[in-house]
């Protein structure tokens, strides 16, 4: 998996690129939380649930169904998120779904249960350029540094470019006479 921080970078970058007129700050923050939430499944290790189980790491919480449930919740909570129900739902679905899609680009683990409950198969993307992050204290090691370098190259830099391009485009459009 990419680190928990990297999952939050994707909605943040899109939010910056789109601007607060289109995506209110509360909605962006909710998207960042939604993008990180699937990794709450690591609590399964403490509960004795095996990694490969449906409710183990990268299981049900990494499915499109889970993203859909969060999207429905977002639609119900659209007022505090300061947006329309369909925008909250679409945004939270995309942010939540970005998590397993990023995880599928990593070079380790068992894959993600993207199609759960219709299929228990764990899948990877055809291309896996992102180094998988160690879980727990292993993050603070030489391998953790290698992971952060990989994530900077494949996620952070493209996200920074997206955010910068969005900002530049909005400024160019707003400065037109």
Q: Is it the case that residue 137 has pLDDT exceeding 80? A: no
Environment class of 68 (CB within 10 Å of its CB; exposed 0-12, middle 13-18, buried 19+): middle
Report the predicted TM-score, pTM, of the whole model to 2 decimal places.
0.93
Query: Which among 112, 68, 29 is positioned nearest to 11, based on CA atoms?
Result: 29
Average pLDDT over residues 156-176: 94
Task: Write down the pLDDT at residue 111.
Answer: 96
- Residue 144 binned pLDDT confidence (cut-offs 50, 70, 90): confident
Q: What is the pLDDT of residues 52-67, one digit of tens each?
A: 999 999 999 999 999 9
Task: Write down the pLDDT at residue 1.
Answer: 56
Q: Quick one: tokens of 41?
A: 């499944």
High-pLDDT (> 90) share of the chain, %: 82
Which string of DSSP letters, residue by residue, matches 73-132? HHHHTTTTTTS-HHHHHHHHHHHHHHHHHHHTTBSSSS-B-TTTTT----B--S---BPP
- In SS3 terms, 20-68 reads as CCCCCHHHHHHHHHHHHHHHHHHHHHHCCCCCCCCCCCCCHHHCHHHHH
């Amino acid at each position: 998996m990419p680190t928990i921080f990297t999952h939050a970078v994707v909605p943040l970058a899109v939010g910056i690129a789109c601007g607060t007129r289109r995506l209110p700050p509360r909605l962006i923050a909710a998207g960042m939380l939604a993008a990180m939430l699937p990794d709450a499944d690591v609590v399964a290790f403490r509960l004795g649930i095996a990694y490969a189980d449906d409710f183990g790491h990268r299981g049900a919480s990494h499915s499109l169904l889970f993203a859909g449930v969060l999207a429905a919740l977002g639609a119900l909570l659209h007022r505090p998120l300061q947006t329309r129900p369909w925008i909250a739902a679409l945004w939270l679905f995309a942010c939540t779904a970005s998590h397993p899609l990023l995880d599928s680009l990593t070079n380790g683990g068992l894959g993600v249960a993207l199609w759960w409950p219709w299929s228990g198969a764990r899948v990877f993307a055809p291309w896996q350029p992102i180094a998988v992050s160690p879980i727990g204290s292993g993050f603070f090691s030489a391998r953790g540094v290698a992971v952060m370098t990989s994530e900077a190259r494949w996620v952070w830099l493209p996200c920074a470019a997206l955010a910068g391009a969005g900002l530049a485009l909005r400024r160019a459009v707003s400065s037109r006479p």
